[in-house]
């Protein structure tokens, strides 16, 4: 009989204990799997969100990309960047806080204006025509609202709303400006705790009671080839601004903004691995101690130590293997529920997820469980291969 067959018979001989062991490994493995997903989920999701926009370089006013410091004299910056051989396209993003009023109800929103080329990657029109007929100055200026805001204020294409720009940290002296809703859209970067509205550049200027707004929150650049080479060229041409490739931006967020979740995942992963080790090691140790007479008899019949060790290793593999495979779907169900809870954190875009499934993460998860199973079998193997055969058989006979 092979070591694998003997291990299977040993496990099947006590199905209740085997089921409990597999269930315990599956639950612990599910927690481990979720922690591994959490360690990279935000980065993978955020990187995918950046890449879907089609722009591989961001230009900001300061080194802190998350700080909303406006880029001044943006028309001059755009003019300089478009002359660079490394740059294919430049888009300007302007944002400000505003209040939308309609029918006695109001809602705080983020008013944004993006270059025409960046509109397809910023929102998707669900109802209405968008800005197609409103590129030139119009009265009232056009406004696209998010689907959530439309539901909140019962608005749709053709509705007239009053929009009041209200910068954060102070009251606004500007009067409200009437806007015509020309579209309801699914907005790419809208967060769960805010509503989003968008208008043309001229509409943005009208909302600020001016004819021009020569500043921007961020500039999006589409490079002709290497993003890092484009970043270097931008910094050389305009040292007064800061350029970041998508890779650099993700690395900065990983080091600062997402470090908290990564550290939590590392700590909890270590704890769950410890629990898995203790569970399997305890079960195998108890099993060996209950079968000392059987092990001694096998040794007396000529079973070599390595075969006894292989049998215990197969037992560990069966428990860890079945439990580990079950832990992946179980962990994903749990991750989906946790993701819905965590995405309610203020400032998180709705399309960003904390848990993102990756085949490499699943493979790494199974590898960690396998290594844990090997480590957990060391002590039971030491007991089984070092026990005195004659004394153990005599003790079993007397008892």
Task: List CB contacts of 114: < 8 A, sequence separation 6 or more.
Answer: 91, 92, 93, 94, 122, 198
pLDDT of residue 257: 61
pLDDT of residue 64: 66
- Tell whether 36 and 162 lie within a shared domain: no
Establish if 366 belongs to a structural domain.
yes
- What mean pLDDT, rounded, does the chain reach? 83
Establish if 27 belongs to a structural domain.
yes
- From CA 260, how far away is CA 283, in angstroms rounded? 35
Task: List CB contacts of 169: < 8 A, sequence separation 6 or more.
Answer: none
- Tell whether 304 and 221 lie within a shared domain: no
> Is residue 118 over pLDDT 90?
no
**pLDDT tens by residue, 189-201:** 777 778 999 999 8
Higher pLDDT, 387 or 334: 334
Q: What is the DSSP string of 41-99?
A: HHHHHHHHHHHHTT--EEEESSS-TTS--PEESHHHHHHHHHTSTTEEEEEEEEEEEEE
300-304: long-range contacts at Cβ-Cβ below 8 A with a sequence spacing of 24 or more? Answer: 300/389, 300/393
Q: What is the DSSP string of 336-354?
A: HHHHHHHTTSTT-BTT--S
Task: List CB contacts of 31: < 8 A, sequence separation 6 or more.
Answer: 268, 272, 331, 334
Task: List CB contacts of 227: < 8 A, sequence separation 6 or more.
Answer: 56, 57, 245, 246, 247
**pLDDT tens by residue, 142-163:** 999 999 999 999 999 999 999 9
pLDDT band at residue 168 using 50, 70 and 90 as cut-offs: low
pLDDT of residue 185: 92
pLDDT of residue 197: 94
- Tell whether 80 and 221 lie within a shared domain: yes
pLDDT band at residue 317 using 50, 70 and 90 as cut-offs: confident
Peptide bond into 321 cis (omega under 30): no
What ranges in 291-304 are assigned the alpha helix state H?
A: 292-300
Establish if 345 belongs to a structural domain.
yes
The dihedral formed by the CA atoms of 302, 306, 311 and 313, expressed in degrees to the nearest 10: 170
Establish if 246 belongs to a structural domain.
no
Strand pairing partners for 90?
221
pLDDT of residue 145: 94
pLDDT of residue 127: 92
DSSP-derived pairing of the beta strands 242-245 and 57-60: antiparallel
Residue 2 buriedness (CB in 10 A; 0-12 / 13-18 / 19+): exposed
Q: What is the DSSP string of 309-326?
A: HHHHHHHHHHHHHHHHHH
pLDDT of residue 327: 93
Strand pairing partners for 127?
184
- Tell whether 349 and 262 lie within a shared domain: yes
pLDDT of residue 262: 74
pLDDT band at residue 172 using 50, 70 and 90 as cut-offs: low
- Tell whether 178 and 274 lie within a shared domain: no
What ranges in the chain are assigned the alpha helix state H?
A: 3-13, 15-52, 74-82, 119-122, 147-153, 201-207, 227-237, 246-255, 259-290, 292-300, 305-342, 359-376, 378-386, 389-398
- Tell whether 38 and 147 lie within a shared domain: no
> Is residue 313 over pLDDT 80?
yes
Which range marks the domain in which residue 13 is found? 3-49+258-398
- Tell whether 9 and 103 lie within a shared domain: no
Task: List CB contacts of 170: < 8 A, sequence separation 6 or more.
Answer: none
- Domain C-terminal end among 177, 206, 240: 240
User: Is 371 strand, coil or helix?
Assistant: helix
Give the angle subtended at the CA of 307 by the CAs of 302 and 313, to the nearest 5°.
150
- Domain C-terminal end among 210, 240, 270: 240
Establish if 250 belongs to a structural domain.
no
Establish if 136 belongs to a structural domain.
yes
- Tell whether 271 and 301 lie within a shared domain: yes
Output the pTM of the full model: 0.71
- From CA 81, how far away is CA 232, in angstroms rounded? 12
Establish if 138 belongs to a structural domain.
yes
Establish if 202 belongs to a structural domain.
yes
- Tell whether 190 and 295 lie within a shared domain: no
pLDDT of residue 373: 85
Residue 114 tokens, joined: 């993006």
Residue 252 tokens, joined: 């900065």
DSSP state of 363: H
**pLDDT tens by residue, 29-88:** 999 899 888 888 878 887 787 777 778 899 988 876 666 678 888 889 999 999 999 999
> Is residue 347 over pLDDT 70?
no
**pLDDT tens by residue, 208-263:** 877 667 888 889 999 988 889 999 999 999 998 999 988 888 887 777 666 677 77
**How many structural domains are present in the chain?**
2
DSSP state of 109: E
- Tell whether 31 and 69 lie within a shared domain: no
- Tell whether 274 and 388 lie within a shared domain: yes
- From CA 235, how far away is CA 212, in angstroms rounded? 26
Give the angle subtended at the CA of 299 by the CAs of 294 and 304, to the nearest 5°.
130
pLDDT of residue 363: 92
- Tell whether 210 and 295 lie within a shared domain: no
Higher pLDDT, 232 or 396: 232
% residues pLDDT > 70 (the chain)? 91
């Amino acid at each position: 009989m092979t070591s694998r067959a003997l291990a299977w018979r040993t496990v099947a001989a006590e199905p209740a204990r085997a089921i409990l062991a597999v269930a315990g490994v599956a639950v612990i493995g599910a927690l481990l799997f979720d922690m591994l997903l959490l360690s990279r989920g935000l980065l993978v999701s955020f990187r995918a969100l950046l890449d879907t926009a089609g722009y591989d370089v961001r230009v900001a006013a300061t080194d802190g990309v998350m700080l909303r410091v406006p880029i001044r004299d943006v028309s001059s910056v755009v003019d300089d960047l478009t002359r660079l051989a490394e740059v294919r396209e430049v888009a300007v993003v302007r944002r400000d806080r505003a209040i939308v009023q309609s029918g006695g109800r109001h809602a705080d929103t983020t008013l944004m204006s993006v270059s025409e080329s960046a509109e397809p990657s910023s929102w998707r029109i669900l109802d209405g025509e968008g800005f197609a007929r409103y590129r030139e100055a119009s009265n009232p200026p056009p406004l696209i609202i998010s689907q959530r805001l439309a539901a909140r204020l019962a608005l749709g294409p053709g509705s007239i709303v009053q929009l009041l720009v209200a910068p954060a940290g102070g009251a606004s002296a500007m009067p409200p400006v009437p806007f015509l809703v020309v579209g309801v859209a699914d907005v790419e970067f809208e967060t769960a705790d805010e509503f989003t509205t968008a208008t043309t550049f001229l509409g943005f200027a009208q909302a600020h009671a001016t004819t021009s707004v020569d500043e921007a929150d961020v500039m999006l650049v589409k490079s002709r080839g290497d993003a890092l080479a484009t970043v270097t060229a931008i910094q050389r041409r305009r040292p007064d601004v800061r350029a970041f490739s998508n890779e650099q931006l993700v690395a900065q967020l990983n080091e600062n903004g997402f470090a908290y979740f990564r550290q939590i995942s590392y700590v909890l992963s270590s704890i769950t691995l410890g629990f898995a080790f203790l569970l399997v090691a305890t079960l195998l140790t108890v099993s060996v101690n209950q079968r000392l007479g059987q092990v001694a008899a096998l040794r007396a019949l000529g079973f070599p130590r390595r075969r006894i060790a292989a049998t215990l290793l197969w037992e560990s593999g069966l428990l860890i293997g079945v439990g580990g495979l079950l832990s992946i779907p179980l962990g994903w169900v749990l991750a989906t529920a946790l993701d819905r809870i965590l995405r309610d954190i203020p400032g998180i875009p709705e399309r960003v997820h904390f848990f993102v499934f990756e085949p490499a993460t699943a493979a790494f998860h199974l590898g960690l469980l396998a290594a844990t199973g090997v480590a957990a079998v060391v002590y039971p193997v030491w007991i089984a291969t070092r026990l005195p055969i004659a004394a153990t058989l005599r003790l079993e006979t007397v008892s």
